[in-house]
Amino acid sequence: MNNKEALQQLLQLKRGEIDPSEFGIPKRTGRGRRSAGLSQAQVAQALFVTERTYAVLERGDMAAPSREFLDAVATVLRMEERERTALYVYALGYEPPIPMDPTAGTNVAPAWQKAVNQVTGQPCYINDVAWNVLAANDDFVRMFPQVDDRTPRLPEQNLLRWMLLREDAREHHLVDWEKRWAAPVAAQLRTALAAHPDNEDLQRLHEEVNEDPVAGPIYRNHNLAYVHPDGDTRIMRHAGFTVPQGSPDQRDRCCERHSASQLGHVTMCAAQPFGSPGARFFFLVFEPWR
């Protein structure tokens, strides 16, 4: 099956699933063959285009339909996110740049949370489009600077806020903060806000970071374009590092307040849950300095 045939079948299937009465269209009566669902003419009417225009798309003969037109078709035909993605791939040859659902990327299926919680021996977590932690395992929580005799916990639910605005991150945990951490993270915030301008968490972060006397100038410097940290290696302290048996203990204290931690490199391996476009799943691979 080629893309034209796949596009035709997808659109015909979605048309057939919709009862015309839901659009205020009376059922057709009288003689003649009547198929279930919306006709091409009825879809065209809902799209405010000619029947011919829509028919050209459904045949797969529209050379380069606009993203706005495809999104309108997806809306009229009540497509799920995965169906809209297929529509783009069949019609244009690539996936949509941003999800249709404005809440996409703000949550993940419960199975993802269970999977992350059951991972041991490797720090991992999931964050949403605004860097709020949706799920994290114990190994990830223990990475952060810990005060003696306190139960390990996340320093903040929003990781970007912590990375850019908190003293523990700037002065203790994230080594060479301004160059290796602040600049790319600030660029990620700019990109995310451009992609999700209506996200209230991102709007708040924009205001807080922009007004901060330390992070603000870095954030307003647009000399770095950055989307995600997949494959990046940076220097940090790992508070929950377990010294392998037979190896020397090289942990030390960054300050009197925090417990001993291990200096090393962390490589971020990122992936996206397909059911939640914009969310990110991270494995953090830590290598101690020898």
Given a cut of 90, whether residue 21 has pLDDT beyond it is no
- Per cent of the chain over pLDDT 70 is 93
Give me the pLDDT at residue 92, please.
92
pLDDT in tens, 106-148: 888 889 989 999 999 899 999 999 999 999 999 999 999 887 6
* DSSP assignment letter at 169: I
User: How far, CA to CA in Å, does 135 sit from each of 84, 118, 152, 231, 241?
Assistant: 27, 11, 15, 21, 20
What tokens appear for 287 in the block? 């290598």
Interval 14-36 mean pLDDT: 71
Q: Convert the pLDDT of each residue in 215-270 to its tens digit.
A: 999 999 887 766 677 788 999 999 999 888 888 888 999 888 888 999 999 999 99
Residue-range domains of the chain with CATH? 3-92 (1.10.260.40), 110-288 (3.30.450.180)
Residue 18 clears pLDDT 50, i.e. is over it = yes
Question: Residue 174 has what DSSP assignment?
Answer: B
Give the pLDDT mean for 182-187: 93
4-18, 21-35, 117-131, range with the lowest pLDDT: 21-35
Give the N- to C-terminal CA distance of the chain in Å, as an integer: 55
Whole-number Å distance between alpha carbons of 96 and 60: 18
| pLDDT band at 35; cut points 50, 70, 90 | low
CA separation for the pair 122, 283 (Å, rounded):
7
Q: Counting Cβ atoms within 10 Å, is residue 272 exposed (0-12), middle (13-18) or buried (19+)?
A: middle
> Is the pLDDT at 31 greater than 60, yes or no?
no
78 pLDDT band, cuts 50/70/90, is very high
> One-letter amino acid identity for 273?
P
- Does position 15 have pLDDT exceeding 90, yes or no? yes
At 234, is the secondary structure helix, strand, or coil? strand
Q: Is the pLDDT of residue 160 over 90?
A: yes
d(CA 81, CA 74): 9
Output the DSSP codes for 236-267: EEETTPPPPTTS----B-SSSSBPPBEEEEEE
**Residue 123: predicted pLDDT:** 96
More confident of the two residues 108 and 163: 163
Q: So what's the pLDDT on residue 33?
A: 46
- pTM, to two decimals: 0.75
Q: Which residue has the higher pLDDT, 211 or 101?
A: 211
> What is the predicted pLDDT for the residue at 246?
84
Per the prediction, the chain carries an average pLDDT of 89
How many whole angstroms separate alpha carbon 258 and alpha carbon 144? 10
CA distance 197 to 186: 16
